[in-house]
Amino acid sequence: MSKKLFIKTYGCQMNVYDYDRMVDILAPLGYSLSDKVEGADMVILNTCHIREKAEEKVYSDLGRIKPFKQKKLAQDENMFIAVAGCVGQAEGAEIMRRAPYVDIVLGPQTYHRLPEMIAQAERAKGRPTQPGRGILDVDFPAEPKFDSLPKIQAGANPAAFLSIQEGCDKFCTFCVVPYTRGAEYSRPVATILEEARQLAEMGTKELHLLGQNVSAYHGQAPSGSGEWGLGSLLRELAEIQGVERLRYTTSHPRDMDDELLSAHRDLPQLMPYLHLPIQSGSDRILEAMNRKHSSEQYRQVVADLQKVRPDLVMSSDFIVGFPGETDQNFEDTLQLVRDINYAQAYSFKYSPRPGTPGATMINQVPEEVKVERLAQLQTLLNKQQLEFNQSTVGQTMEVLLEKPAKQPGQYLGRSPYMQSVIVKATPRLLGKIIQAKVTYAGANSVQGEIITDETELALSA
Ligand code: SAH
Ligand code: SF4
Ligand code: F3S
């Protein structure tokens, strides 16, 4: 009998990738996705620990799920509740203590063992009413999970994520990722190519390579000896029949090398949009963050990239109110933003994370200062994003149509610059790359009209 599986994913794109893999792992056990917690046989919260707010959400969601589990228990049925992802990794025992009705806690590196954990939970009749009765599996495995994942099924969308790396060794002083995802590991090239070919065969046109530091990728070469960097990997992926677009996230300014630069120059498939986080425009703060690069080096990397790929537009992440950030340091960030001129960017208030060096720094910035700086930075970034979108009005660009939009008859796609593009289309065009002329620009999306010749499309179908 088919069992119902509800998964909620928080956090970064790596968690989205992991979500699809968990669906693949649980399918042979008879679980299929449901969009409701009520009545589900298994509920997984795939969590994020990056900022305090993300973590708090997990506990409030657990509180909301509990009555649904109680209802099932009252009917002599069960609902397994699992907390996966980075909060599971960082706070496993704490979750078990605070929410003893949670059956299973696992981390981003252990979800391939879910079937064993479920079997164990079933033996325990799935009723861990006492703290410590639940199943906790957060030990980093000796063998990376990638080797034990089933053949890819879920997530073969027109644009699909492909994880090429796990973990991080950079230890920025604000960040939990090295603790929640463990040491950096690059998947061997051969297994990535195999997954990419599977996705392409299932109709994926755009591959979005994922890792916390993909520019530091160094996977085993297909020959078995030596290693390849990201640039070589991208070149090989571009050769795969059906792969028309390539993107990668996230990269670190410190290891953008010549090989990667030349990939941007030579590969038309590599899209002209790059998310390259800098966090702060102040060298003093960058040093305190242990980023190991200056704002000048970042500017140089961007200039070098735009020299070889003049249409490349930039995106970044920023943190305001890192300990010790002065008004002048913050002004340096604003100046950097004015100079680079971003097409899009994310910005956050610094959130002290337990166990990271930043959390115990003595010169924490008051909340109201953080709020004020974030508002100022976001006003500037939003203005730049709108201006970028407006600059594309009248342009004709290729748009990969990914899914239906909210309004009937409208579809949502992505431009090469990662803009959300809304067009009127027919279902037949889903998953296809069409030519669209941008007619209107909003802050978060643009609208376009399809100008692709229908006969041309019929021939290419
Ligand atoms: N690996 C990526 C980023 C991973 S986390 C990189 O090196 O850039 C995603 C973003 O969350 C970071 O770029 C940072 O801007 C933000 N972030 C991470 N830790 C944070 C914290 N403690 N407080 C606020 N924002 C944080
Ligand atoms: Fe976190 Fe820094 Fe690693 Fe990015 S590079 S994941 S910000 S420690
Ligand atoms: Fe969050 Fe973990 Fe990603 S902490 S941002 S889900 S790596």
Residues 365-385: pLDDT tens digits? 999 999 999 999 999 999 999
The arithmetic mean of pLDDT across residues 122-136, rounded, is 64
- In this structure, the residue with its CA closest to atom 19 of ligand 1 is 175
Sequence ranges of the chain with CATH classification 3.40.50.12160: 3-137
Q: Please, which residues bridge with residue 224 across strands?
A: none
CA 447 – ligand 1 centroid, Å:
31
Residues 240-267: pLDDT tens digits? 999 999 999 999 999 999 999 999 999 9
Q: Cβ distance 265 to 308 under 8 Å?
A: yes
Closest ligand 2 atom, CA of 169? 3
CA 12 – ligand 3 centroid, Å:
5
User: What is the per-residue pLDDT for 131?
Assistant: 46
- In this structure, the residue with its CA closest to atom 6 of ligand 3 is 48
The arithmetic mean of pLDDT across residues 52-67, rounded, is 92
The arithmetic mean of pLDDT across residues 68-94, rounded, is 92
- For domain 145-389, give its CATH number from 3.50.50.60, 3.40.50.300, 3.90.1150.10, 3.80.30.20: 3.80.30.20
Q: What is the DSSP letter of 443?
A: S
Asked if residue 107 has pLDDT above 90, the reply is: yes
396-460 CATH: 2.40.50.140
- Secondary structure of residue 312 in the 3-state scheme: coil
Could you tell me the pTM of the whole model? 0.93
User: What is the per-residue pLDDT for 128?
Assistant: 52
168 lines ligand 3 (CB under 6 A): no
Residues 281-338: pLDDT tens digits? 999 999 999 999 999 999 999 999 999 999 999 999 999 999 999 999 999 999 999 9
CA 53 – ligand 1 centroid, Å:
13
Contacts of 212 (CB under 8 A, 6+ apart): 14, 165, 166, 167, 168, 170, 177, 181, 184, 250
Range list of H helices, 75-186: 85-98, 114-123, 177-180
180 lines ligand 3 (CB under 6 A): yes
- In this structure, the residue with its CA closest to atom 7 of ligand 3 is 177
Sequence ranges of the chain with CATH classification 3.80.30.20: 145-389
User: What is the per-residue pLDDT for 15?
Assistant: 95
- Secondary structure of residue 390 in the 3-state scheme: helix
CA 280 – ligand 1 centroid, Å:
11
Which of 14, 50, 169, 170 for a ligand 2 pocket mutation test, highest count of atoms within 8 Å of Cβ? 170
Sequence ranges of the chain with CATH classification 2.40.50.140: 396-460
177 lines ligand 2 (CB under 6 A): yes
- Class of 3-137 in CATH: alpha beta
| Lowest-confidence region among 109-113, 129-133, 325-329, 336-340 | 129-133
